[in-house]
Amino acid sequence: MCRDLDGVQGCHPKAYSTCSVSGNSHDFQGACSYTLVTVSNSAAVNLPWFSVFAEKEHVMVGKVSTTRSITVRVFGVSITLEKGFPWQIQMNGTRVNLPFSLDGGILQASQAGMGIVVQANFGLRVTYDLWQTVLVKVPSTYSGVIGGLCGNYNNQKDDEFALPLGGLVGSANEFGISWRMEGGKELCGDFCLQGGCPKLGDKEREELTKSDKCGLISAPNGPLAACHPVLPPAGFLENCIANSFTVGGKTEAVCLGIQAYVTACQEAGVTLKDWRSRSFCPFSCPANSHYSLCADTCHNNCMGITNPQLCSKDCSEGCECDTGFVADGDKCVEIQDCGCEVDGMYLKSGEIIYINKCTQKCSCSSRHNSICEETSCPANTQCAVRNGALGCCPTDVTCIL
Q: Which residue has the higher pLDDT, 217 or 338?
A: 217
Average pLDDT over residues 352-362: 92
Note whether residue 248 is domain-resident. yes
CA nearest to 21, candidates 98, 81, 111 = 81
Q: Is residue 397 very low, low, confident or very high in pLDDT (cuts 50, 70, 90)? A: low
Q: What is the pLDDT of residue 184?
A: 47
- Domain termination residue (choose one: 166, 194, 222): 194
- The answer as to whether 126 is a domain residue is yes
pLDDT value for 26 = 44
Residues of the chain with pLDDT > 70: what percent?
84
Residue type present at position 284: S
Bridge partners, 170 (sequence order): none
Report how far residue 28's alpha carbon sits from residue 178's, in angstroms, rounded to the nearest whole number.
12
Residues 317-324 have a mean pLDDT of 94
Let me know whether 160 and 208 are in one domain: no
Please give the residue that has the higher pLDDT: either 13 or 288.
Answer: 288
* pLDDT band at residue 265 under the 50/70/90 scheme: very high
Assign residue 316 the CATH number of its domain.
2.10.25
State the average pLDDT over residues 342-356: 87
283 confidence band (pLDDT: 50, 70, 90):
very high
pLDDT for the residue numbered 166: 79
Domain that includes residue 379, residue range: 348-394
Smallest Cα–Cα separation from 137: which of 115, 155, 117, 154?
117
| Range with lowest mean pLDDT among 38-42, 104-108, 259-263, 372-376 | 38-42
Residue closest to 5 by CA, chosen among 313, 341, 362: 313
Per-residue pLDDT averaged across 278-290, rounded? 94
pLDDT given at position 401:
45
Is the confidence at residue 167, as pLDDT, over 90? Answer: no
Task: Say whether both 152 and 295 belong to one domain.
Answer: no
- Whether 9 has a pLDDT exceeding 90, the answer reads no
Residues 55 and 176 in one domain: yes
Characterise 60 by phi-psi region: left (phi > 0), alpha (psi -120 to 50), beta (else): left
pLDDT of amino acid 61: 53
Percentage with pLDDT > 90 across the chain: 44
Q: Are residues 308 and 224 in the same domain?
A: no
pTM: 0.85
Q: Which carries the bigger pLDDT value, residue 103 or residue 247? A: 103
251 shares a domain with 159: no
Over residues 395-400, mean pLDDT: 65
Q: Distance (Å, rounded) from C-alpha 105 to C-alpha 336?
A: 27
> Using CA atoms, how far apart are residues 397 and 147, in angstroms rounded to an integer?
39
- Determine the pLDDT at residue 154: 82
- Domain-located, residue 278: no
Does 400 fall in a domain?
no
Using CA atoms, how far residue 266 sits from 24, 30, 48, 326, in Å, is: 21, 28, 27, 23
Q: How many angstroms separate the CA atoms of 63 and 262, rounded? A: 24
How far is C-alpha 146 from the geometric centre of its chain's CA atoms?
19
Q: How far is CA 224 from the centre of its chain?
A: 22
Residue 158 in any domain: the answer is: yes
- Which residues have a Cβ under 8 Å from the Cβ of 308 and sit 6 or more positions away? 299
Asked whether residue 272 is domain-assigned, the answer is no
pLDDT higher than threshold 60 for residue 277: yes
Residues 388 and 328 both lie in one domain: no
Average pLDDT across the chain, whole number: 84
Torsion sign over Cα 247, 128, 171, 156:
positive
Task: Flag whether pLDDT at 67 surpasses 90.
Answer: no
Residue 31 lies in a domain: yes
- Please count the other Cβ atoms lying within 10 Å of the Cβ belonging to residue 357: 11
Domain boundary among 194, 220, 246: 194
pLDDT for position 165: 81
Q: Are residues 174 and 206 in the same domain?
A: no
Are 207 and 177 found together in one domain?
no
Give the residue with greater pLDDT, 296 vs 176: 296
Domain annotation covers residue 401:
no
Q: How far is CA 273 from the centre of its chain?
A: 23
The reply to whether 149 and 216 lie within a common domain is no
Within 29-153, strands assigned E span 33-39, 50-59, 64-74, 77-82, 88-91, 94-97, 100-102, 107-112, 115-120, 125-128, 133-139, 146-147
Task: Note whether 53 and 113 are same-domain residues.
Answer: yes
**Please, which residues have CB within 8 angstroms of residue 166's CB and are 6 or more apart in sequence?**
none
Give every CB contact of residue 221 below 8 A, 6+ residues apart in sequence.
none
Residues 210-256 have pLDDT tens digits of 999 999 999 999 999 999 999 999 999 998 998 888 777 788 889 99
Number of domains in the chain: 4
Helix (H) or strand (E) holding 391: strand 389-394
The tens digit of pLDDT for each residue in 299-310 reads 888 887 766 666
CA dihedral 299, 304, 308, 313 (to 10 degrees): -20
For residue 148, which amino acid is it?
A: G
Specify the pLDDT at position 297. Answer: 87
Cα dist from 353 to 92, 100, 340, 357, whole Å: 15, 15, 12, 11
Residues 213 and 183 occupy one common structural domain: no
Q: What is the number of residues in the chain?
A: 401
Burial of 326 (0-12, 13-18, 19+ CB in 10 A): buried
Per-residue model confidence as pLDDT tens digits over 111-144: 999 999 999 999 999 999 998 889 999 999 998 8
**Do 181 and 231 belong together in one domain?**
no
